[in-house]
Amino acid sequence: MRFFGSFLVLLLILSSPLAAQSVIGASGLGMRLEPLDAVQRALGGVGVTTRTPTVLPGNPAASLDLLAPTITFTAQPQWGTYVVGSENGDFFATRFPVLGFAYPLSTNGVITLTAGSQFDQNWSVVSRGTVDVHGESVGYTDRFLSDGAVTAIQAGWARRLSTVFAVGATVGVYSGGLKRNFFRVFDGETADSVAVENPIETTTVLGRWNHSGLLASLNLLWDPSPFLQLGATMEWGGTLKVNPVRGFQDLGRAVSVPLQFKVSTTAALSSTLALNAGATYADWSGLGDASVEDAGAGRVVSYGAGVEWEARNFW
């Protein structure tokens, strides 16, 4: 076994219009989640090059140095803030955990099976308003509840082509479901505190969808020296289909998830210390769905860095 500690020194993540990852929730995708383990999150959130072998969705090359079959489990709560025009607020998500399994194929190859949330769709909105009923102003309360997530299940393979080059690839499917409820409750009195003679019944609208689609990724690793590793990943998101199951039959969607490009490097500073830095890019402005694009989706660039300290090595 191997025991290590990770110490976060620097974490810089810039997401140009965050609407690309949060406000999309109103149109079926949800808040973007990156399924990473805790170490890669602390090292900048890119997850391409790794000093310590692990199991990462979309990157089977990270498992090449595992010596035995390995199972991983990572919870992924997420907190953040968003600003869209004059609107701002906070969000929180804790959805399907990151699950991973890796099985080494001799010393040069590995196969993996992973699952992790890609988009969170759990949120609620409450608002109040008034409506004119026979010349009287009657208040009402609207409550909109959304509960669901999009999970990616991926199978991967990676192999070392030489002592310095390695390649990997994954294919997978989107899965998950979404349930939305809308309630409008009318007040029992008018704005002038006069009891409504015939109370208006509560309005309820329910809808349910499931998700489907294909995705894939390609990974490249290059070790130009024993102290330096460079890596790149291209993730193809395919077309995410949001299919109505019950209600809202005219609100099915097919969204083109953009290509995502990642680059990263890991440099060994000493026998126990390593620096990791990387960046990602995706253009969410061409999703093939006008209602999503109108929400403010755009180009997203993120980058981060961190230092990993290996406290003890038992092998």
Question: pLDDT digits over 265-297, tens only?
Answer: 999 998 889 999 999 999 887 665 555 544 556
* Residues facing residue 111 across a β-bridge: 103, 157
Predicted pLDDT of residue 197? 60
Question: pLDDT digits over 17-73, tens only?
Answer: 333 333 334 445 777 778 887 778 777 778 888 888 889 999 999 999 899 999 998
Sequence-distant (6+) residues with CB within 8 A of 211 are 150, 174, 175, 176, 177, 178, 240, 241, 242, 243
- Number of Cβ within 10 Å of residue 32's Cβ equals 24
Separation between Cα atoms, residue 232 and residue 221, nearest integer Å: 7
Digit-by-digit pLDDT tens for the chain (315 residues) are 333 333 333 332 222 233 333 333 444 577 777 888 777 877 777 888 888 888 999 999 999 989 999 999 888 776 767 666 655 666 666 667 889 999 999 889 999 999 988 888 777 778 888 877 777 777 888 888 888 888 999 999 999 999 999 999 999 999 988 888 888 888 765 555 555 566 678 888 888 888 999 999 999 999 999 899 999 999 999 999 888 886 556 667 888 889 999 999 999 998 889 999 999 999 887 665 555 544 556 788 888 899 888 776 555
Predicted pLDDT of residue 21? 34
Architecture of domain 3-119+152-179+212-310: Beta Barrel (2.40)
Angle at 48 between CA 43 and CA 50, to 5 degrees: 60
User: What's the predicted TM-score (pTM) here?
Assistant: 0.75
